[in-house]
Amino acid sequence: MNIRYDWTLEELEMLYHLPLLELISTSNQLHNKYHEPSEVQVCSLISIKTGGCPEDCKYCAQSSRYQTAVSATPLMSYEAVLNEAKKSS
Ligand code: SF4
């Protein structure tokens, strides 16, 4: 099976209705075909403005518009963010 972007609705419905273990097995085979199975991609997040954002996106804990037990911290400097990124790579 090759990577595709032209799935039809019927094909997606067929995948959706596959037995779970068959779906897991097929997924694993495809993953191993395109990725080194022993490697894991690691990503990390840092909060660069904890509780200090002036926006209010409702779902986000970084907004300064809510009273919480977490103390707000100022926006991290560009250099500090860059240094944290370098530690992760
Ligand atoms: S998602 Fe959070 S950090 Fe981003 S703008 Fe909205 S409130 Fe601010």
Residue of 60, 64, 65 to mutate, ligand 1, most atoms within 8 A of C-beta: 60
Residues 25, 14 contacting (CB under 8 angstroms): no
d(CA 53, ligand 1 centre) in Å: 6
For the chain, which residues make up each domain, given as ranges? Answer: 1-40, 42-89
Predicted confidence (pLDDT) per residue in 53-63, tens digit:
888 888 887 78
pTM for this predicted structure: 0.47
Check pocket membership of 75 for ligand 1, CB cut-off 6 A.
Answer: no
* Ligand 1 center to 64 CA (angstroms): 9
- List pLDDT tens digits, range 21-62: 999 999 999 999 999 989 988 888 888 888 878 888 888 877
72 lines ligand 1 (CB under 6 A): no
